[in-house]
């Protein structure tokens, strides 16, 4: 019999790519999601399920009888005002943890959190050290707490995707490509800014390595998903621009800072301006994550950044022409 892998949220960005890879490797796969898959021909693998409704969720999981579960389903935007707006991230995970105890043959469960359980630049002390700065981040803190409160009987781990990019991505991480490709991006003086990003092809490899390898240590249950070393953002922007045949311009720091303050002023009148202090800070401050424990299990990244950049540019061009 084929190994049975249940994915929740496989109609999203990471899930779309993971579903494709697992199907190509001939696993028996089921996608539980409240929205249809991005790739229409994968509708036969999809079951429409609301994970906040316990009975509906439980029936779908038990009917499939998975050997492995990767839980990706979540609300991921930053627009929510309260935790209730992120019920999928709290109630959905609470429901999942109850259901897992009804699967005696389950071999491994991966539950997806987010790097936003801490703010950018924050150096975590341990896997229980949280410092969220958005309501979405707070909801993912609750995701992790729900897991720890009702741990699975099988092997398990939590993953925290960093800034993942590549084919089938959307906002906010596609914005960087769009801005560079439209020649709207510029370097800010000679400031170097390092951030942990991850090409989706490498992320899928990391998730699958974590799925099929044991992670038994209680003090080492949380794994960031992303590329190492961290990207220097100017270098990456230059790499994208070079592939498209142009150069990224450079603006003086004082000028961009003045634009940001002007953008803040317009914001008081609800007028959107592309440069504000928040974005200026994001473009000039590092945001890296510790990838060491992930690389111990998944040491051999299958794609370079340049290979990922080329594949992503090709996908954007093809996708926009459909």
CATH assignment of the domain containing 99? 3.40.50.720
Q: Quick check: 320 pLDDT over 80?
A: no
Average pLDDT, the chain: 95
Mean pLDDT on 297-319: 96
Mean pLDDT on 148-166: 97
H-run or E-run covering 223? strand 222-225
Instruction: Please check whether residue 132 lies inside any domain of the structure.
Output: yes
Q: Quick check: 306 pLDDT over 90?
A: yes
pLDDT at residue 187, as a whole number? 94
Q: Quick check: 292 pLDDT over 70?
A: yes
Domain count, the chain: 1
Instruction: Please check whether residue 322 lies inside any domain of the structure.
Output: no
Instruction: Please check whether residue 320 lies inside any domain of the structure.
Output: no
Domain limits at 97? 4-161
Residue that the structure tokens 């409160």 belong to: 149
Neighbours of 245 (CB within 10 A): 6
Instruction: Please check whether residue 261 lies inside any domain of the structure.
Output: no
**Half-sphere exposure (Cβ direction) of 197: Cα atoms closer than 13 Å:** 21
Instruction: Please check whether residue 267 lies inside any domain of the structure.
Output: no
Instruction: Please check whether residue 269 lies inside any domain of the structure.
Output: no
Instruction: Please check whether residue 25 lies inside any domain of the structure.
Output: yes
Q: Quick check: 150 pLDDT over 80?
A: yes
**Half-sphere exposure (Cβ direction) of 78: Cα atoms closer than 13 Å:** 10
Q: Quick check: 321 pLDDT over 80?
A: no
Q: Quick check: 119 pLDDT over 70?
A: yes
Q: Quick check: 72 pLDDT over 90?
A: yes
pLDDT at residue 171, as a whole number? 82
Phi-psi bin for 166: left (phi > 0), alpha (psi -120 to 50), beta?
left
Q: Residues 219, 129: contact at Cβ < 8 Å?
A: no
Give the separation between CA 123 and CA 230, rounded to whole angstroms: 15
Residue that the structure tokens 């914005």 belong to: 175
Give the separation between CA 156 and CA 214, rounded to whole angstroms: 8
Mean pLDDT on 184-213: 96
pLDDT at residue 27, as a whole number? 98
Summarised one tens digit per residue, pLDDT across range 24-69 is 999 999 999 999 999 999 999 999 999 999 999 999 999 999 999 9
pLDDT at residue 274, as a whole number? 80
Q: Please give the DSSP secondary-structure letter assigned to residue 230.
A: P
82 exposed, middle or buried (CB, 10 Å; 0-12, 13-18, 19+)?
Answer: exposed
Neighbours of 24 (CB within 10 A): 8
Give the separation between CA 189 and CA 185, rounded to whole angstroms: 13
Q: Quick check: 191 pLDDT over 90?
A: yes
Instruction: Please check whether residue 286 lies inside any domain of the structure.
Output: no
114 exposed, middle or buried (CB, 10 Å; 0-12, 13-18, 19+)?
Answer: buried
**Per 3-state DSSP, what percentage of the chain is helix, strand, and coil (rounded to 5)?**
45, 15, 40
pLDDT at residue 120, as a whole number? 82
Q: Residues 285, 188: contact at Cβ < 8 Å?
A: no
Query: pTM for the complete prediction?
Result: 0.94
pLDDT at residue 322, as a whole number? 63
């Amino acid at each position: 019999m084929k190994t049975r892998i249940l994915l929740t949220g496989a109609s999203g960005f990471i899930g779309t790519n993971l579903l494709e890879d697992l199907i190509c490797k001939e696993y028996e796969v089921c996608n539980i999601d409240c929205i249809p898959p991005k790739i229409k021909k994968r509708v036969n693998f999809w079951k429409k399920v609301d994970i906040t409704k316990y009975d509906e969720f439980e029936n779908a999981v038990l009917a499939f009888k998975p050997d492995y579960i990767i839980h990706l389903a979540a609300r991921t935007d930053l627009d929510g005002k309260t935790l209730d707006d992120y019920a999928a991230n709290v109630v959905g995970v609470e429901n999942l943890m109850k259901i897992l105890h009804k699967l005696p043959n389950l071999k491994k469960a991966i539950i997806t959190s987010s790097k936003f359980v801490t703010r950018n630049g924050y150096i975590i002390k341990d896997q229980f050290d949280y410092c969220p700065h958005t309501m979405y981040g707070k909801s993912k803190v609750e995701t992790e707490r729900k897991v720890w409160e009702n741990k699975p009987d099988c092997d398990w781990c939590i993953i925290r995707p960093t800034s993942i990019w590549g084919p089938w991505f959307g906002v906010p991480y596609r914005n960087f490509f769009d801005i560079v490709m439209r020649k709207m991006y510029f370097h800010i003086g000679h400031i170097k800014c390092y951030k942990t990003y991850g090409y989706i092809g490498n992320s899928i490899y990391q998730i699958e390595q974590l799925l099929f390898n044991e992670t038994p240590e209680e003090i080492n249950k949380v794994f960031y998903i992303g590329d190492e070393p961290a990207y220097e953002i100017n270098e990456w922007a230059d790499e994208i621009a070079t592939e498209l045949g142009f150069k990224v311009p450079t603006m003086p720091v004082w000028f961009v800072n003045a634009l940001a303050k002007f953008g803040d002023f317009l914001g008081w009148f609800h007028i959107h301006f592309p440069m504000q202090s928040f974005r200026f800070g994001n473009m000039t401050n590092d945001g890296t994550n510790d990838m060491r424990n992930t690389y111990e299990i998944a040491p051999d990244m299958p794609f370079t950044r340049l290979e990922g950049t080329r594949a992503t540019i090709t996908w954007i061009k093809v996708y926009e022409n459909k």
